[in-house]
Amino acid sequence: MEAEEALQDLVYGGELYRDDLNKVSFILKNYQGHLDSKAAFPVLKAGTWGGKGEHALICDLGVKEDYQGAYH
């Protein structure tokens, strides 16, 4: 199975800014990727799943519940 078959709604080459989503998930190469994403985007809530702690496979960045950004 190819990635395009498994992930049919995945957007390739789309705009980096979108106002119609509140979370982005991505595959981790290693746990350091999660730590780096937290440092690079401190205003976003960072989470992991697909394994506990340093065994996490996926990271997501989303809007914090207390975020008071441009649209609030």
CA–CA gap between residue 68 and residue 38 (Å, rounded)? 18
What is the structure's pLDDT at 39? 96
54 DSSP assignment: G
pLDDT, average across residues 45-62:
90
Least confident of 25-29, 62-66, 68-72: 68-72
Beta bridge partners of 23: 62
Across the chain, where does the E strand assignment appear? 23-27, 44-49, 58-63
What is the structure's pLDDT at 61? 92
